[in-house]
Every structure is written in structure tokens, then in C-alpha cells.
Structure 1
């Protein structure tokens, strides 16, 4: 019987106690969570948070999505090897790394310069070379680089701006956490035609707000 190191035991516990109970059962996703070392995408002082069921703190007051949200979104998006992905909110680069294993190319936008450098360094150290991390305000997307097969908002928004939806290919999928406290929902939007979209909200969750996305109107008629 193989004895796991404390680090690998923590990773195993994360998968078995947090991820599987959230209906993440696709074997290729579970294998990715072992292969892509989450702790290596955190500053050394924060490595202890790598496997905790929480939004993991990052520099500049930002945070990573919780491990179960990242894993469930990855499973439900069904990213394919030929696809081009846009991520908004690079953070530490971890979600971009997960996406990169499944996609052809990932463009990850990050508004915080410190996090741009952190994500680039983490991805370089992990040997992942099909991700570009760009210093940019992601609230407008990256129309000049689109259209995209998949768009991932690695944080929450009050609503998904039409300008970003328009950057999906027909047949493309977008993931975002949509809503406000106390109700946020994982939202998957598929572009079904030139101006047609289908939306599913299969599970509740929460996530830190992305910067510069519009707030909902305080008035409703």
C-alpha cells in the first residue's frame, strides 16, 4: 500500500471530500486536478490555502474561485482540443492552466499588474505554453481576438454584458457566476444563432466580483 505525502493526501482529500460530492465525476477532470498542482499557483505564503474549500486569497485583495467551482465549471463546459478560450480574470493562472490542458489556445485577461506577473510566472514554471496572459480590462472582452469557442468569467457579475456574449462563436459556450448576495448562480450561456442564446443555471454558488463589470440598476419597474 502506497503512503501519500501530506501534500498529496491533502490533494486527495480535496478531490474526494469537496469535488466528487459536487457531482464532478468525469475521470479526465479528476486526473487534471492531480496533474495541475494547485499549490504551485499560489504565493509561498498562501500555499496552505491551496486545498481548502474556500475562495483562495491572492495578492491585491483578489481571490481564486473555490476548488469545487473550478472543477465543476471545467467539467460542465466540455472544452475540446481544437477550441479557443477567453478567460476574464487570470488571477494566479490556475484556471487558465486547467483550461489549457483541454483547449488549443487560451487568452486570459487580468486587470491587476501584480497578478499578471504572478500568472505568467506560474504558467511558465508549469511548462504550459498555450496560454497568453494579457494586462487588460476584461469587462469588454477581447473582440479583436475573437470569436471564441469558450468564454470563462473567473468571478461573479451582476449580468453578462452583451458585448462579451457577442464574442462567442455560434455554438460557443460561456460560464459565469451571475447574481448578487445572497443568491448567485452558475450560468452557462450557449450561442445558438446570430442573435440567439440559450441559458442554463444548474447550480448555486458564490464568487468574488470581477472588476469594472456593471452593477445592476437599483431601480426595477
Structure 2
């Protein structure tokens, strides 16, 4: 039988700390949230592996190390209002709940959104709301947000999401495609947005953000 508590500590020590994640708050969050509660029952033995885990036909759960590094880049503060785009099973939202004041998470797959809300509720994380809806639209009614975290790789970032940031707010995403992506951090100043590329990363593609394929004649 898997000892999940030990597996969780091994994940933090051997996968996350070794990828330059030094934030005490993030390390504590990953030690505290039971990842096994956010994977299908049939895949619980994979919960702490350093690998992506398919959780539905449309979503793949990001492996722990790149997720932790991306969250460190987001620099979430205790008073922040955070929007998670593409919440999947709810694990990223649960981690963010330890880092922030309030988390709003949106997921296009209604069944996943329902399961995520149930898992988060069962664990008593009462500062998180999971909303079924179009991930490309975000949740403007609950914003503006201090941080928007896109939970996967995207080819493009819609202006409509950027406009849901507060003044001085930050959006973090993996920008690229299934072969190559880089972590980007975008800061809002008025109606202007400055972007930095931080590091190469690896996260499952969110297909809703793929550019339409062009036809060549």
C-alpha cells in the first residue's frame, strides 16, 4: 500500500526543490495538499510520479515540478485574488488556495469542474470556487484579479483575459505548443502589458487556446 504522506514529501524533496523552487509558501502548499485526491482512483499510484497524468479525454494533469516553478513565477501573495484558467481536477486551485486569499477556477469540462469542486470541498478549502465555463472567457464577473494563472500550454493569450487583470496584476502561462513552450509573465500597467520570458517549461496543451489551423493551397 502506498504511503501517500511519504510520497508527497519525496515529491517535494526530489522533484520540486531540485528545480530551483525555493519559496517556502509553495513548498509548504505542495507538502500540504494531498495530490492523490485529485487524480482518478485508478491512477492514484501515479499521483506523485514526475509525469503528466491524463484525467479526462480533454485534460492532462501537469507534473509537479514545472507546475511548482510556474507558480513561483506567479509570485502569489496572501491577499491576492487569483483566477485559474483550466482548473482540470482542481489540484492547481487547491495549491493556490494555500498561497492566496481567494481562488476562482474555471473549467470547460463540466464533469471535471464538478469533481474538482467536490474534492476541494471535501478537503475544507473554503476560499476556492470552481466554475464550469469557457476557459477562454475567464470569469470577468468575479474580477479584476491580482493573478491569472493559465494551467497549461497555450499558443495565444486572449486580450479578454489580460483585461481581467487589476492594475499591476500578473498573468502567467506556458506559451508555445506541444513540442516547445516557455514560461511567460505578463504585467499590466494601465492598458499596456509588458511580458518577460522566464524559462523553458513543459505543460500539457490547453486545446481551447490552439490557433485555428491554416489551409494551404
TM-score by length of 2: 0.92
1:159-207: CA deviation from partner (whole Å, max 9, x where unpaired): 111111111111101111101242211111111x222222122111122
- Where does residue 153 of structure 1 map in the other structure? 150
Q: Find 2:21's aligned residue among 24, 28, 31.
A: 24
Q: Secondary structure at the match of 1:59?
A: coil
Q: Secondary structure at the match of 2:184?
A: strand
- Where does residue 195 of structure 1 map in the other structure? 191
Q: Secondary structure at the match of 1:60?
A: coil
Q: Secondary structure at the match of 1:87?
A: strand
Give the total of aligned pairs: 214
- Where does residue 211 of structure 2 map in the other structure? 215
1:41-94: CA deviation from partner (whole Å, max 9, x where unpaired): 122211111111111220234111110122112222221122111111111111
Q: Secondary structure at the match of 1:139?
A: coil
- Where does residue 60 of structure 1 map in the other structure? 57
Structure 1 runs of 4+ aligned residues shifted over 4 Å read 216-219
Q: Secondary structure at the match of 2:87?
A: coil
1:110-165: CA deviation from partner (whole Å, max 9, x where unpaired): 11111011101110111011111111001022222221110011011101111111
Distance 1:104 1:58, change over 3 A: same
Gaps of at least 5 residues in structure 2 are none
- Counterpart Cα distance in 2 of 1:25 and 1:81: 17
- Where does residue 67 of structure 2 map in the other structure? 70
Q: Find 1:184's aligned residue among 168, 171, 181.
A: 181
Give me the CA root mean square deviation: 1.7
Distance 1:24 1:134, change over 3 A: same
Task: Tell me if structure 2 keeps the 8 A contact 1:159–1:216.
Answer: no
Task: Tell me if structure 2 keeps the 8 A contact 1:139–1:211.
Answer: no
- Counterpart Cα distance in 2 of 1:25 and 1:175: 18
